[in-house]
Chains A and B, each alone.
Chain A
């Protein structure tokens, strides 16, 4: 676990704030991975301890060490606050010899940590956050955005809902970086297809009572209410929409970012027929089923795409460290970009110059209660979106590293 500042500070204080050391071997004789996410709040179920479990599963595949240096996993709770995330990452890198930070859901926290990691030249493996800015105007040579992003959600769910006849949209948006980005991407997608946006309302992160916002949505006369939020915000909004008779009155709901843990919390009765885009589903093929069964035995529930993404990213990182023979960030980044990503999560996944890992995404529909054969049997995969359709081309991303 984290050392106290006194012990570490004595050894490292001189180098505080300076760049991480570049060495020809593994620094501090250990590969230390910090899994930083929300462990107690609204995103705890979709990331939380599950991501740490996934990281440990990846480390196990290397026998728990690389070239004799043990792989250590530490965890941190950023409580969905950008300043706590930034301070934890900073302290981890400056005084606790953490080499790489992983997960970081909550785009505001991810943006803050991206700054810190870029400044200190350490790698950041992002599975949880959604903002396209992370591989756009805030891109970093050390930041890798692995699992999904808001463009993919818009291209998947947004387009699918539009094609079902929902041409007039109203957005219920979580008022921070992620929500704005998701609303933005979906608006662009809908408008490019010929649809219109009737209005938008912003709600604070972690709202318990959506009644007032849902009323505004109802009053707009839109065909569909796009929920540009995640975690319990989404599930609460869906539950309360039903309570206020909104869905019964004929308006559709579009869960623009929906995880299998949300469907589990809602129950199929409430969630049936919702469309969603996902980077991973446990029941897709034999490899995913095998990995997910092992995950479930360790964590107690099936993995979300965030969990699977953490596993894949950490595994790829560790492979790169092994092949490069060092954990120096520049060498490892180069190695990571050289190798394709091939595991149960992605086949022939590629890392683009802006840090975006592109892979196939899947459009799914939540099954009706009658169609499901048991717990966690929730999705029907409707179609596969190839990588070039699901993600922005680097030239369009706005990243300064791409020329």
Chain B
């Protein structure tokens, strides 16, 4: 078979595929963060923990209620989103009048609690979650082997990201949302219930994290620590993409995933830090982020 720059195609395309899969998660999670930040001006540090909750919800639904993967894809995000709404109503909303840093600190504390509780109950070695029967096996494409489930992850992520983008940028509800972000007082004066919108937005962002968690469960092991290192990479993705830009979050997420995959092929030692290096460069050249607008 042909070789590209001294690298066999199996390896190159395989890593690109893996990069695209990672990128799917980066995109989904940074989308959730961007949505929450856009409305609430809060950095939801608990996003990683909520992603983990989604995976555990799927696992628990399977263990105790016999509910399979496909229903979990719907139910788990709803459950996690509902949990998010409770958090927002009881705790987050008290902090809106204060410095935004307190929101960060609160969600950080919540992340510690959520992760600590699950860690206490389940340990850190991870629970297995089976790949749904429909998606088992894979396709041998000649230049690489594509497991079916991983292909599905990319498709699902793209669908949800595009649907969210469409809802926010092209529908009336989205227009209200964007307006409330710019000028909540005025929008409230028009009779739209802004606090409820805020609560629901937070719930939606958290549900996105939960959805990503269910997608991750069959491939990454359901594990209390699965969110914690991932969330920091997602922060970097959001900084690079520019806060508050929905399209920016999606494109940057997928793009950086692919970049990370490429780095694994040619310079594997740097693959962990390449995203942070890109972040440093972007900050020096364009501090607002690639797609961001200065607030």
- Direct touch of chains A and B (CB < 8 A): yes
Q: How many A-B residue pairs have CB under 8 A?
A: 60
How far apart sit A218 and B147, CA to CA, in the bound complex (Å)?
15
Q: Which of A42, A216, A243 has the most CB of B within 10 A?
A: A243
Measured CA separation A231–B14 after assembly (Å): 26
Enumerate chain A residues within 8 angstroms of B264, measured Cβ to Cβ. Answer: 212
Does any Cβ of A come within 8 Å of B131's Cβ?
yes
Instruction: Please provide the chain A residues from 205 to 225 with a CB less than 8 Å away from any CB of chain B in the complex.
Output: 206, 208-209, 211-212, 215-216, 218-219
Cross-chain contact of A244 among B8, B147, B220 (Cβ < 8 A): B147
B223 in complex: contacting residue of A208, A211, A239, CB < 8 Å: A208
Contact, CB under 8 Å: A218 / B10: yes
Shortest Cβ distance from B229 into A: residue: A204
**Cβ of B155 to closest chain A Cβ, rounded Å:** 18
Q: Which residues of chain A are near B10, meaning CB under 8 Å?
A: 215, 218-219
Please name all residues of chain A whose beta carbon is closer than 8 Å to the beta carbon of B220 when the two chains form the complex. 208-209
Beta-carbon contact of B11 and A245 below 8 Å: no
Indicate if the CB atoms of B15 and A212 lie closer than 8 Å.
Answer: yes
Nearest to A218 among chain B residues (CB) is B10
Contacting residues of chain A (221-247) with chain B, CB-CB under 8 angstroms: 231-232, 236, 239, 243-245
A212 x B124 contact (CB < 8 A): no
Given that A40-B124, A42-B124, A232-B125 are known contacts, is A208 also in contact with B11, CB under 8 Å in the complex? no
Return chain A residues, CB-CB under 8 Å to B28: none
| Bound: A236/B226 CA distance, A | 15
Q: How distant is the Cα of A209 from the Cα of B268 in the complex, in angstroms?
A: 15
CA–CA, A47 and B18, complex, Å = 34
| B15 and A215 within 8 A (CB) | yes
Within 8 A of B (CB), among A1-49: 40-42, 44-45
Nearest A-chain residue to B120, judged by Cβ: A40
Q: Is B219 an interface residue (CB 8 A)?
A: yes
Chain A residues with CB under 8 A of B14: 215, 218-219
Which residue in chain A gives the minimum CB-CB distance to B136? Answer: A243
Q: Which of B138, B145, B219 contacts A209 (CB 8 A)?
A: B219
A-contact bits for B1-37, CB 8 A (1 contact / 0 none)? 0000000101100110010000000000000000000
Choice from A231, A239, A245 contacting B140 with Cβ under 8 Å: A245
Partner of B145 from A45, A201, A239, A245 at Cβ < 8 Å: A245
Residue ID in chain A nearest B272 by CB atoms: A204
**Nearest CB in chain A to that of B139: its residue:** A245
Interface string of A319-361 (1 = CB under 8 A from B): 0000000000000000000000000000000000000000000
CB neighbors of A among B192-237 (8 A):
219-221, 223, 226
Q: Which of chain A's residues have a CB closer than 8 A to the CB of B18?
A: 211-212, 215
Interface-centre pick from B15, B124, B125 (highest chain A CB count, 10 A): B125
Give bound CA distance, A216 to B271, whole Å: 14
Taking A215-B18, A243-B131, A243-B147 as contacts, is the C-beta distance between A232 and B126 under 8 angstroms?
A: yes
Tell me if A206 and B124 are in contact (CB < 8 A). Answer: yes
Q: Does B132 contact A (CB under 8 A)?
A: no
- Report B-chain residues with C-beta under 8 Å of the C-beta of A244: 138, 145, 147
Judged by a CB distance under 8 angstroms, whether B178 is at the interface is no
Interface centre among A212, A216, A231, A249 (most CB of B within 10 A): A212
| Chain A residues within an 8 Å CB radius of B219 | 209, 211
In the complex, the answer to whether B138 meets A44 with C-beta atoms within 8 Å is no
Please tell me which one of the listed residues B125, B131, B138 contacts residue A41 in the complex, with CB atoms under 8 A apart: B125
A244 to B264, CA, bound (A): 18
Q: Which of A208, A243, A245 contacts B226 (CB 8 A)?
A: A208
Q: Which residues of B contact A42 (CB under 8 A)?
A: 124-125
A208-B126, A245-B138 known; A236-B221 Cβ under 8 A: yes
Selected contact of A219 from candidates B8, B119, B123, B150, CB within 8 Å: B8
Complex Cα–Cα for A243 and B137 (A): 7
Measured CB to CB, the closest approach of chain B to A85, in angstroms, equals 16
Q: 1/0 per position for B116-154, CB-CB distance to A under 8 A? A: 000100011110100100000010100001010010000
Which residues of chain A have C-beta atoms less than 8 A from B11's C-beta? 215-216, 218-219
Q: What's the least CB distance linking B11 to chain A, in Å? A: 4
Alpha-carbon distance between A381 and B119 when the two chains are bound, in angstroms: 37
B48 to chain A minimum Cβ distance, whole angstroms, is 14
Min CB–CB distance B256 → chain A (angstroms): 15
Cα–Cα distance between A239 and B128 once the two chains are bound (Å): 10
CB proximity of B59 to chain A, nearest CB, Å: 14
Rounded to whole angstroms, the CA-CA distance of A41 and B221 in the bound complex is 13
Which residues does chain B contribute within 8 Å of A40, judged by CB atoms? 119, 123-125
Bound Cα distance from A232 to B123, whole angstroms = 12
Q: Is the CB of B125 within 8 A of A44?
A: yes
Residues of A near B221 (CB, < 8 A) are 208-209, 232, 236
Give A45 to B122 CA distance when docked, in angstroms.
Answer: 12
Tell me the complex Cα distance, A60–B274, Å. Answer: 56
Q: Interface digits, A236-266 against B, CB 8 Å rule (1 contact, 0 not)?
A: 1001000111000100000000000000000
Given A40-B124, A211-B219, 10 additional A-B pairs, CB 8 A: A44-B125, A45-B125, A208-B126, A209-B221, A211-B18, A215-B15, A219-B11, A231-B125, A232-B221, A243-B138
Contact sample, A vs B, 13 pairs, CB 8 Å cutoff: A42-B125, A44-B123, A44-B125, A208-B126, A215-B15, A218-B11, A218-B14, A219-B10, A219-B11, A231-B125, A232-B125, A243-B131, A244-B145
State the 9 A-B residue pairs at the shortest beta-carbon distance, nearest first.
A219-B11, A40-B123, A215-B14, A208-B221, A232-B125, A41-B124, A42-B125, A208-B220, A245-B145
